[in-house]
A and B are shown apart, each in its own frame.
Chain A
């Protein structure tokens, strides 16, 4: 019997525990459900959905780097209609809170997506991807532009009563300024971080290794950067933070919570160990019990600075 209360409140969103699966790293849950019991997970964040289906980038889409990976998937997704028809029913059956991640190339498109999904009761919140580095239009340009991030938040807020999480790009000078803009326009939370822009060349052919030339860096290699971004937001802005970046085990998850995260998302690790989420949850629970922590939320921002 665990004594700890694992519930976390993220703005208006209450989750049974702080362990979530990150967008783009578990598709729509079908495959990963063969490895973990989705009923145990705090929430699943869907692959970014766009209004229309997207084919995604040509290969090569991924490559391994030192303790990480680059990806340029290009937001390949089934589009919102198929998502509603086929993917939501599956996830509802598994009794896992769905956070729908939305990507778009115009503000109107974000609003249209949110409006189409507003009455889907399986969807507990929206995560607005303003920061995907792998598509030509939208994506990073939005994530780089404070005014746009504010505007997208404002418009989405005006069109939904569900909680909104703005997923921030780390490819900026001060991420806390972006968190501030999201907060000001009514976001319930921010998630940080999306991937960092990176590239690689083949030294024989001198060609880029990815078709898209650049990709997004993720995995253990980015953890220190992600932690610093979470910490920066936590110190400067009063908004719940969902920490993401290179989490491989429960110790990493605890570290993200200490740095200021209310919850965490597991990304790249799902590819290597699709059972990781359950292991992290167990490790976190044991850590709380061993340290007489009654509320997991009390770890959030508990860093000790002299």
Chain B
């Protein structure tokens, strides 16, 4: 919106301020990421983790029936593999290395997992849109479903690849933040 989004004659600057609390209360992002890695992932022999991945695999199986969704399906399969190897590497580091170091990039893990989940939900939305388009809906709905597919494509091409950067930091137990000393600031 350019300058018009920066002034309070339009509500978007208020939306921005209103949302700033959300990463803080009810457990900050840092706290949530530690909860995810130290409790939620290992809990009950990784039951929740496995159940979640299983849901994603179910959607991937369904998506295989739609040739136009092949690129997304392949990309999400790869992302799932990245998530698995990253998880394994982080859990191993937590068990074998200095735990403070092993958890020092926990927020990146949460972001990685979050991106995979959102990508999954976009694939689910794309399946619905693809099916609906095949039924030749009226014009307004054609636009609506095309918009869904385009937004999904945006997420897969512009956003999802970010997980590869985060995965590298996590699998290599990058120590940049951990090594930083209070006196160096």
B is a partner of A: no
User: Using a CB–CB distance below 8 Å, which chain B residues touch chain A?
Assistant: none
User: Using a CB–CB distance below 8 Å, which chain A residues touch chain B?
Assistant: none
